[in-house]
Amino acid sequence: MTFSEQLLQELADAGGRIVKSGSGLELEKWPSLVAAARRSGRVPETKEHYGGWCRGGYEIKLIDIAAWRLATLEPIPVRTRLAWPHTVVRAMQNEPQPLGLTKPVQGRALRLIQALITATEAKGNSSSAGQTGFAPPFHRRRTASHHFTITAQGQTVGFLVLQEQDRTEHVATEKELAEAKKNSWIRIPRYDYTPSERLRFVLSGGQPHRASEWADTPTRSLEDQLAEIAQEVTLRGEAAERRRLDEIEAARQKRIRWEAAMEEARVQYAEAYRVRHFEAQETAWRHATRLAEYVSAVRTRVETMPPGQARTEAEAWIDWAAARVERLNPLSTPPRLPDIPEPRADDLRPFLGHWSPYGP
């Protein structure tokens, strides 16, 4: 059994993940061994061999390749001429220099855009034109305004169409040499840049999957890559939709937790109100008891007074005071639980912890 077969068997036995520990050369050999296993051809077509450093040493995993990477993509046909240009393409055609491209590549760029928009709109997406008459500097292509956008499931993906540049060694002229010799701050450029016929699509917005840029290469033209670009738009739209649904579910779960906290806060508020009412009754009882003792002492004193107006007035006061004490004493009526008033937001705040009484 080869080393690659042994490693794959070990991964299978461990559930697809192992961590190699150790030190020195014993540990440092694993990146190259994993790379050799990848090249061996023993890794299943639907799996991907992964290796990377982790806290415990070197982590090796065998993970499933995403289904979208295994999907067979239908090529997107590109017409040889624009018979019925899309409104986005027509907006570009109305510019003096569409997309800031040179004339030799303008027609091909518009046909590529037409094919891409037609294919994506067939899947229910929408498109719109942006700033169609300029070419951003190379260093600003990731922040420049879009030439056009495609929106899939609420996710807008912006597109820039750029013309690649060919670089050649600069041959200094006699004038440049003379100027550089005369002025020390003059620098003769090392290279000359000229527009080529190669194009590049730069995508922005949403979660990247395959890539964010596609360009003509010696082995693959953009025509051959349009299906991947269209799939990328779809994948970003699907990711945005999943994220939107996840956010909705997270908000729903958060509201459920908030409503449970509010219900518990109402229960605690009601109990706290009953306790306060109970303590207030006890305080009222003690107060009434002291008053009753005082009224009793007054009555004893009045009974020793001789008959007359003063005694009559004192007895009237005793009758009033005794009735008042009776009303103040909570024991004068059968005990019962109090009616709980509807709490205000600030009444519930002490029982809510980190939650707000106004919403989740």
Q: How many domains does the chain have?
A: 3
Domain that includes residue 312, residue range: 266-351
Q: Whole-angstrom Cα distance, residue 276 to residue 270?
A: 10
CA distance 125 to 155: 10
> Do 149 and 60 lie in a common domain?
no
Same domain, 133 and 46: no
Domain membership flag for residue 77: no
- 3-state secondary structure string, 176-228? HHHHHHHCCCCCCCCEEEEEEEEEEEEEECCCCCCCCEEECCCCCCHHHHHHH
- Whether pLDDT at 16 is above 90: no
The reply to whether 109 falls in a domain is: yes
Check whether residue 285 and residue 338 sit in a common domain: yes
Both 163 and 101 in one domain: the answer is: yes
Q: Is the pLDDT of residue 340 over 80?
A: yes
- Indicate if 96 and 180 belong to the same structural domain: yes
pLDDT score, position 106: 96
Residue 174's pLDDT is 85
Domain boundary among 205, 229, 253: 205
Q: What is the pLDDT of residue 257?
A: 97
pLDDT (0 to 100) of residue 128: 97
Per-residue confidence (pLDDT) for residue 192, from 0 to 100: 87
Averaged confidence pLDDT in the chain: 92
Q: How confident is the model at residue 52 (pLDDT cuts 50, 70, 90)?
A: confident
Confidence of residue 236 (pLDDT cuts 50, 70, 90): very high
283: three-class secondary structure by DSSP: helix
| Domain contains 153 | yes
Q: 291 and 196: one domain?
A: no
- In a domain, residue 134? The reply is yes
Instruction: Looking at the structure, tell me whether residues 111 and 197 fall in a common domain.
Output: yes
Q: What is the pLDDT of residue 10?
A: 84
Boundary residue ending a domain (188, 205, 222): 205
Q: What is the pLDDT of residues 249-304, one digit of tens each?
A: 999 999 999 999 999 999 999 999 999 999 999 999 999 999 999 999 999 999 99
Is 23 among the domain residues? yes
Which residues are within 8 A (CB) of 133 and not within 5 positions of it... i.e. 6 or more apart?
A: 92, 95, 96, 97, 98, 99, 100
- What local confidence, expressed as pLDDT, does residue 180 receive? 83
Distance CA 301, CA 116 (A): 108
Residue 43 lies in a domain: yes
Q: How far apart are CA 185 and CA 195, in angstroms?
A: 28
Q: Is residue 279 part of a domain?
A: yes
Domain-embedded: residue 100: yes
Q: Is residue 51 domain-shared with residue 97, that is, in the same domain?
A: no
Greater pLDDT, 253 or 172: 253
Does 96 share its domain with 171? Answer: yes
CA angle, residues 67, 71, 74, in degrees to nearest 5: 155
Q: Which residue has the higher pLDDT, 168 or 244?
A: 244
Specify whether 60 is located in the same domain as 93. no
Q: Mean pLDDT: which of 12-26, 48-62, 168-182, 294-308 is highest?
A: 294-308
- All residues at 6 or more sequence positions from 295 whose CB lies less than 8 Å from its CB, including other chains: 318, 321, 322, 325
pLDDT beyond 80 at 166? yes
The continuous run of DSSP H or E covering 34 comes out as helix 30-39
The mean pLDDT value for 163-177 works out to 88
Backbone angles phi, psi at 59, to 5 degrees: -90, 135
Instruction: Assess whether 121 and 37 both reside in one domain.
Output: no
H or E segment at 30? helix 30-39
Alpha-carbon distance 90 to 127, whole Å?
13
Share of the chain above pLDDT 90, in %: 66
The pLDDT, as a whole number, for residue 21 is: 86
Domain final residue pick, 205, 239, 257: 205
Reported as a single tens digit per residue, the pLDDT across 173-224 is 888 888 888 888 888 888 888 999 999 999 999 999 999 999 999 999 999 9
Tell me what pLDDT residue 29 has.
86
* Same-domain status, 199 and 296: no
Q: What is the dihedral of CA 98, 101, 106, 110, to 10 degrees?
A: -60
Q: With the CA atoms of 327, 330, 335 and 339 taken in that order, what torsion angle do they form, in degrees rounded to the nearest 10?
A: 80
Task: Please determine, for residue 138, whether its predicted confidence score (pLDDT) is greater than 80.
Answer: no
